[in-house]
Amino acid sequence: LGATGEGVTVAVIDSGIDTRPLDLADDLVAEACFCHTNGACCPDGTALQMGPGSALDDNGHGSHVAGIVTSAGRVAPRGVAPDAGIVAVKVIAADNSFCCASDVVSALDWVLSKRPDVRVINMSLGTTALYSGECDAADAVTRAFAAVINALRDRGVLSFVASGNEAVGGAMSAPACVGSSMSVGAVWDGAYGPYNFGRCVETGTAIDQVACFSNSNHTTDLFAPGALITSSVPGNRAATFIGTSMASPHAAGCAADLLQAFPALTPGMIEASLEATGRPVIDPKNGLTFPRIDCLAAHDVRFCPDADGDGYWAPGGGSCPAGRWADCDDADPARFPGNREICDGVDNNCNLAVDEGFDPDDDQVATCRDNCPADHNPAQSDRDADGTGDACDLDDGVIEVMPATDGTVVWQAEAGFDLFNLYRGQLDRLVDADGDGAAEEYGACFAENLATTTFVDREIPPTGHGVFYLVTGMTAAGEGSLGTASSGAPRPNVRDCRAVFGSPPVIHEAVVDTAPAIATCDFTRIAETRVCALGVPGAQAIAPIVISGRYVEARIAARITDPDTTPDRNDLRDARATLSRPDGGTIDFAI
């Protein structure tokens, strides 16, 4: 059809290119080198070189890859896009390795900032580390790859990357694992008999058989011919190589052909065309089906109806396939496959999901419709009708309580309260005899005067005897109510904390005697008037008496009255104290 990649520039980031072979002599547009392997591996002996000669290939891999894209066909077979131009960037040394991901990232950055003519990138390389899914945020290396590959794609540049040759059916190397790259695995291009690759053995081969050495997983995009591929190498020769390194430039060359035929294609449109029309092949390592590129079909699908002009076709007939890459609404140019999803209640990217990625609190309500987007509140309750859900509203007078884990209760630090009382009730004892929507009682106060908003309940009930929790706040005026039931009826607080714990004892006076020869008495808080009510889980002292100093002997006597006892028991002179030792231990003694 006359599409040969003419006018399209492909960046080949590899071991460089040798333009002396007749097949590659007229293809080089520009070159650069970022190569720190063994200290420095650019042709001039440095680690950074620009201009003519900077990407001279001393390995052969880069020339072979470039030939698959653009060979003129004089010595080696004709390339997929024989008239495409090549920007060669050397990052691989003579020993066929690159020292560090930073060289590859630098090469991509250079293309992004200095080569606006590049529309396609090929990287037949990868890290030794493998990733089981999209790896954009997996570690510092993949984050760096993802940032620049995403930026290139946003500028209209599509990156094709070899999936790797480790014979793994559940992972790929980086940067093939980056979500916005086009990862390419390898199929056989003919029936060549058995092959032993060390990592795997082929007992026989056939056209479109997935090569056993090819990595793939559920995020792999494409497959292309990669086994027994003959292309150009230095010395004006042809050589036959095997690997996903050979598959990726087949796809990159096809993209160059499509861009010559349809210059307005975006990376998303190219991806859709290739993936929707490829011939299905199955990788036996994982049972997954992938599209093997069909460049003619990818070309022809661009003539399918596109009423809304968004670059994606309306399905219909064999040549206009349905599926995830077809336009779900050919009357709306704001809806098409791969589009950026926004929070608007519409399936913008045609993936049969609405507002996905906009539910950080996982309550099945998207941010744009969630009155409390950072807190799980599927009911969207808003008692004070201020537009902020109760689960995150800290000034509506309602304290939201929830179980964090088994035995751990958490609640909000509602504004206006410094201390909290925790109620625990038995679910099977909730009774609403008068039918007003509120039970007759909601359990007893379980812990009082809690200064934190977390409580560990160590008395987990047996199966079938579930409990519920309610929290009230404490102010100078006393304890707040338990609020209202869903019907609006008040929740009775019949056994409040004061009834359960009683009033705290009052210390009227205290006397401390110590051995005067060595004691340095520092009885710092004699004015404190409240102590802890013991014996109930979670009870805490409001303001304990603190005695500090160094003593060999100490005697403490106090007059304490307790409002909850009979008058004849109010003059108590028997208490219990704990002294802390400098080494962190304690000494208990009676007074």
Question: Catalytic positions, please?
Answer: 14, 61, 245
Residue among 61, 157, 47, 172 at smallest CA distance from 109: 157
List the one residue out of 301, 224, 292 whose CA is nearest residue 261. Answer: 301
Pick from 233, 223, 231, 285: nearest CA to 254: 223
Strands 28-34 and 576-580: unpaired
Question: What is the rounded distance in angstroms from the CA atom of residue 390 to the CA atom of residue 403?
Answer: 16
- Find tokens 């390898």 and name the residue: 186
User: By C-alpha distance, which of 56, 84, 55 is closest to 68?
Assistant: 84
Q: Given the DSSP bridges, would you call strands 195-196 and 201-202 parallel, antiparallel or unpaired?
A: antiparallel
- In angstroms, how far apart are the furthest CA atoms of the chain? 116
Strand, helix or coil for residue 572? strand
3 state SS for 149-215 = HHHHHHCCCEEEEECCCCCCCCCEECCCCCCCCEEEEEEECCCCCCEECCCCEECCCCCCCECCCCC
Environment class of residue 391 by beta-carbon count within 10 Å: exposed (0-12), middle (13-18) or buried (19+)?
A: buried
The SS3 assignment for 416 reads coil
The residue among 421, 420, 400 whose CA lies nearest residue 411 is: 400
DSSP string, 554-566: EEEEEEEE-TTS-
SS3 label, residue 283: strand
Q: What is the DSSP letter of 505?
A: P
Closest by CA to 64, choosing from 18, 97, 99, is 18
- Is 522 buried (19+), middle (13-18) or exposed (0-12) by CB count in 10 A? exposed
